[in-house]
Structure 1
Amino acid sequence: MFATGIGYDVHCLVEGRPLVLGGVTFDYPLGLEGHSDADVLCHAIADAILGAAGEPDIGHLFPNTDESIRGISSLEILRRVRAVLDERGHVLNTIDSTLIAEAPKIGPHLMAMKENIAGALGLPPGHVGIKATTNEKLGFLGRGEGIAAMAVAAIERQ
């Protein structure tokens, strides 16, 4: 049986943290606030995969009350989510995702992000879609107060 899942994540931008998106650290004066590295792209993808598998979201698997995972790389979260799929015999087919941010420019880093995510999930890079858009200066995203991501995952359930 084929199944799809949808993921969404958003974090606010703050001073004093690195900005990590798709496993790439950006040269940017603000970073995303969170318990892990706050990589919204990886978090949205993880939730999409878990949703397709009928599993709880990453907040259940990686709660912000668990000090042992404070600062964890979100690529490691993706590896662990992939392990959940493998344990259940599910096959991950494709990922598609969109980052929503006024800044920084995402385009120059898309290929590195795609390769990082594909590597963490054991997929060919061509099976991972990443796009970027702005919020046209509307709302908190448009004011540059945060970054959001949406993702869809397609799996074959066994």
Structure 2
Amino acid sequence: MRIGHGYDVHKFGGDKPLILAGVTIPGAQGVLAHSDGDVVLHAVCDALLGAAALGDIGEHFPDTDERWRGASSRALLAHCLKLAAERGLRPDNVDVTVIAQVPRLGPHKQTMRAQLAADLGLPETAVNLKATTTEGLGYIGRKEGIAVHAVALLSG
């Protein structure tokens, strides 16, 4: 068994929709990013790569590489899963914490969890997704951006 931790943050801005865990959040401000900016999937990718001792998302999908401009983070996740599988590892469970003052994620959490579970090939009972605010503190509290922590347990 191997444990990995992932973290990602993005600044709000631009004209892209906000996508979290593969789900478009209606009416929410998108983020500035080289890919589609799915901060949840980026953190999960880093957790998977960390557990497999395969570096980080920036090494595999650098923002200097035009192949990844506008890329779907679901495709990035699929690639990270493939890399882990090549090492004989598969995810057993994932725990995600989204830190955002806006948008309110309560109405979207179950859909996000279900999509993440499907993309990971896990039952929903093996995927947890939490959302919290910073109570108005810092850049997140000022509604300037969004952050995510993810932990993944892999086994082989």
Structural RMSD (CA):
1.1
Q: Distance in 2 between matches of 1:129 and 1:121?
A: 12
Matched residues, percent identical? 47
Structure 1 residues 115-124 or 35-44, which shifts more?
115-124
Q: Distance in 2 between matches of 1:3 and 1:29?
A: 35
Pairs within 5 Å for 1:66-85:
66-85=65-84
Shift of 1:91: 2.4
Q: Distance in 1 between matches of 2:100 and 2:89?
A: 32
Q: Distance in 2 between matches of 1:152 and 1:142?
A: 23
Q: Contact 1:41–1:149 (CA<8 Å) still a contact in 2?
A: yes
Q: Distance in 2 between matches of 1:61 and 1:142?
A: 31
Q: Distance in 1 between matches of 2:27 and 2:122?
A: 29
Structure 1 SS opposite 2:16? coil
Counterpart residue identity of residue 8, structure 1 = Y
Q: Distance in 2 between matches of 1:110 and 1:101?
A: 13
Per-residue deviation, residues 62-107 of structure 1 (Å, max 9, x unmatched):
1111111211111111111111111111121100010000111111
Q: Which residue number in structure 1 is paired with residue 26 of structure 2?
A: 27
After TM superposition, the score normalised by the length of structure 2 is 0.96
Shift of 1:119: 1.6
Q: Distance in 1 between matches of 2:79 and 2:115?
A: 14
Counterpart residue identity of residue 60, structure 2 = L
Say whether 1:36 aligns with 2:73: no
Q: Contact 2:98–2:147 (CA<8 Å) still a contact in 1?
A: yes
Pairs within 5 Å for 1:60-71:
60-71=59-70
Structure 1: gaps spanning 5 or more residues: none
Q: Contact 1:18–1:25 (CA<8 Å) still a contact in 2?
A: yes
Q: Contact 1:75–1:116 (CA<8 Å) still a contact in 2?
A: no
Per-residue deviation, residues 109-141 of structure 1 (Å, max 9, x unmatched):
112111211121111121111000001100001
Q: Contact 1:8–1:151 (CA<8 Å) still a contact in 2?
A: yes
Say whether 1:6 aligns with 2:5: yes
After TM superposition, the score normalised by the length of structure 1 is 0.94
Counterpart residue identity of residue 122, structure 2 = L
CA change 1:76–1:41 in 2 (3 A) is same
Q: Distance in 2 between matches of 1:8 and 1:32?
A: 16
